[in-house]
A and B are shown apart, each in its own frame.
Chain A
Amino acid sequence: MPKPVKLGPQPGNPTELILNGEIRPNEWQLIPQLEAGEDLDLIALPAGKVIVPLRQWRDNREAFAARGGEIGVWLDSDEGAELIGEEATELPLIAVHFPAFADGRGFTAGRMLRERYGFKGELRAVGGFMRDQLTYLRRCGFNAYAFEGEQPLASLKNSMSDFGDSYQTGTDQPLPMFRRRF
């Protein structure tokens, strides 16, 4: 698939989010994607915990090594989990961008990170997803939801448990229902 010439919508970085079912302050700063050809200015990079685009993470692995637990990576919707692959286990946080709620590629990315690449850190949904997708996001391994815009987080998190059971496997349920009925 050809790469888009222009950058698409970039994920926001709200001050609060839902993390492990609780409303928590956002301790991470998300760095937007740069135009093709541009490089990350490491000196201007804020101190503390930052989430950098996949390409910047790849390009600056050595420089980031010193900051260990303070560097997270975000995947855009056209970037699959295999682009991080086994290295996922070294990261404290991976964010997956949903440029629009209808763009469901991130559900696959989340599942792959957890199930195939063994990622145990914070898996954060960023971008334009919506509350009614929380059950699906949770089942695909996401444990953090950074909603954009002003949101009543306290009521939104109720939607994490719209369904009490499921037919298929998910990161929350290793056995499909057909293995649990008997």
Chain B
Amino acid sequence: MYQYDDRDRAIINDRVAQFRSQTERYLAGELGEEQFLPLRLQNGLYVQRLAPMLRIAVPYGLLNSAQLRRLARISRDYDKGYAHFTTRQNLQFNWPQLEDVPDILAELAEVEMHAVQTSGNCIRNTTSDPYAGIALDEIADPRPYCELIRQWSTFHPEFAFLPRKFKIAVSGSEQDRAAIRVHDIGVQIVKRGEEIGFQVLVGGGQGRTPVIAETIREFLPEEDLLSYLEAIVRVYNQLGRRDNKYKARIKILVKALGPEEFGRRVEEEWQHIKDGAEKLTQEALQWAKSFFTAPEYKTLDGAASEISLQQQAESDKAFARWLERNTYPHRVPGYTAVKLSTKPTGIPPGDVTDNQLDAIANLADTFSFGEARVTHDQNVVLADVEQNKLYELWQQARQYGFATPNIGTLTDMICCPGGDYCSLANAKSIPVAEAIQRCFDNMDYLYDLGDLNLNISGCMNACGHHHVGHIGILGVDKKGQEFYQIQLGGSASNEASLAKVLGPSFSRAEVPEVIGKILDLYVEQRRSEEPFIDTYNRIGLQPFKERIYAKAS
């Protein structure tokens, strides 16, 4: 993974000192609430319903064990002993004291971490594929580009006060596992012959006005990545709306101008800067790639490992289930990626305790070259596990509560913190997630349902990605009462689609029953192994509507 040198360290230490001074000025009354707001937000500090919330950047989700242990320590020393993984592959503390935040940032800086630009109207943490570097369908590793984007966007002097927040995702594989089509900028690595380049998409997003991104460039040469991003953000900074925060995202500008005209303006701007100093040099590209080389894999007999795994699976059904759901194929023979589930029933999705953070660090050290990856569905990947150690890993993961074999199933849901924590929420989301998990706790049934993304957001800001869930649940406020709208058919994959609203919303108590009816209809209608989303795409919304809202006869 990327390692700081003295220059990176100096910048992060300057930031800690700057924020310490800003906090002191705020606490001394020299800095007003309104002025402190954007400063604290650009350091990831929100003031929430019950306490401040501090969002720590985890660049493209990558963590080493020293960082995990430090996060565990911070959650013990400054918080209530737990933390929350977010859909931007970041980590949040829910209960820090405002006056402690400079010290927390100093502790983070010691392990090359920070909270820079994790909120505010600026360029946020760049996200990517949790299987980067190991996936079978990878065209090129996206992480070097993510790191170059991270550096370019960090304290960018021109783009710290954009019309609205700005999110970039990079996918390096054929299957999009980074949801690039619902980002302000989606970067897809492509090859033209042997030449690496990027397909560039703009104007995707979720929130109140969900939009699927449009391609403005089919092939951008590798060395032009940063100057082209600069041109896009510059056009947006000048032309994006600032009169209404709900119409300020780039997607609204792209819609208003049309993707062709927006793209034309970007190209025009880019002509001025494409051969400037931000053009990436071969030296810089090689340097960035040098941090993401393969670890020292052993030469293993993949076929033999497979056979012995099969034997273990046959003799232990629980292990077999876990193996089926919670592992992911690896390009190196004899290795497998493992997804630790943060979603056992009754725990808010994405929440981990300080002990669990330490446990992830230990598991990473023992089984996966000391690194772990936060995923956008709020789980944790250990990317490089020897297959003949999977059984041992599984046993240890079970002890720490990470081995719920539900990855990719109904109960592996994405869920925002909702009304329990967030001051923006219209409704709670965590209790809805729990009620669904309790209602559908039969593993055989979950496996029979197969791959199913259920996403829950507590308000239309869509932090829980409800627009792109196969089943999406949105908390709404109806005359002061919490209600839930159900949507169907969303997807954040290559064939990205936005979910459609089923009909009038339901009370919290009704939600599990409604989900049950949707699943029943799917089971009746599916053809052999057809997954939920394919059945939905074949039969459409109407049959679901009829089933759910049928008058009792």
- Please give the residue numbers on chain A whose beta carbons come within 8 Å of chain B beta carbons, in ascending order: 1, 80, 101-105, 107-108, 111, 116, 130, 132-133, 135-137, 139-140, 162-170, 174-179, 181-182
Q: Contact between B157 and A181 (Cβ–Cβ < 8 Å)?
A: no
B residues near A, CB below 8 A?
5, 7, 10-11, 14-15, 17-18, 22, 35, 38-39, 121, 148, 151-152, 154-162, 226, 234, 237-239, 241-242, 272, 276-278, 280-281, 283-284, 287-288
The answer to whether A170 and B242 touch (CB under 8 A), given A178-B281, A182-B287, is no
A139 to B239, CA, bound (A): 21
A104 and B237 contact, Cβ closer than 8 Å, known pairs A136-B157, A167-B154: yes
* Residues of chain A with a CB closer than 8 A to B226's CB: 176
Q: Judging by beta carbons under 8 Å apart, are B22 and A132 in contact?
A: yes
**What are 23 inter-chain pairs, A to B, with CB distance below 8 A?**
A102-B161, A104-B161, A107-B157, A107-B158, A107-B160, A107-B237, A108-B158, A111-B157, A133-B161, A135-B155, A139-B157, A162-B14, A163-B14, A163-B15, A164-B11, A165-B7, A165-B10, A165-B11, A167-B151, A170-B157, A176-B278, A177-B151, A179-B284
Contact between chains at A167 and B161 (CB < 8 Å): no
What B residues does A174 contact at CB under 8 A? 277
A107-B159, A166-B157 given as contacts; is B278 within 8 A of A181 (CB)? no
Which B-chain residue is minimally distant from A111 (CB atoms)? Answer: B158
Please list the 5 inter-chain residue pairs (A to B) with the smallest Cβ-Cβ separation, ordered nearest first.
A104-B161, A139-B157, A178-B284, A136-B157, A167-B151
Chain A residue numbers with a CB within 8 Å of B284 are 178-179, 181
Our pick among B14, B35, B155, B283 for the contact of A130 (Cβ within 8 Å) is B35
User: Is the pair B237, A105 in contact by a Cβ cutoff of 8 Å?
Assistant: yes
* A139, B158: Cα distance in complex, Å: 8
B10 A164 Cβ-Cβ under 8 A = yes
Known pairs A130-B35, A132-B22, A165-B7; A108 contacts B234 (CB<8 A) = yes
User: In the assembled complex, how far is the CB of residue B55 from the closest CB belonging to chain A, in whole angstroms?
Assistant: 19
A101 / chain B contacts, CB cutoff of 8 Å = 35, 38, 161
Q: Counting chain A CB atoms within 10 Å of each CB, which of B238, B280, B284, B287 scores highest? A: B238
Chain A min CB distance to B159 (Å): 7
State A137–B15 Cα separation when bound (angstroms): 17
Q: Are A136 and B18 in contact (CB under 8 A)?
A: no
Query: Complex formed: what's the CA distance from A6 to B348 in Å?
Result: 49
Pick the residue among A104, A108, A167 that contacts B152 (CB under 8 A). A167
In the assembled complex, the Cα of A60 lies from the Cα of B5 at a distance in Å of 54
Chain B residues near A139 (CB-CB < 8 A): 157
**Closest CB of chain B to A9's CB: distance in Å?**
13
A162 and B7 within 8 A (CB) = no
- Interface residue from B22, B155, B239 paired with A167 (Cβ < 8 Å): B155
B38 contacts across to A, CB distance below 8 A: 101-102
CB A124 to nearest CB in B, in angstroms, measures: 17
How many Å from the CB of B227 to the closest CB on chain A?
Answer: 10
Chain B residues with CB below 8 A from A167, complex form:
11, 151-152, 154-156
In the assembled complex, the CB of A81 is this many whole angstroms from the nearest CB of chain B, namely 9
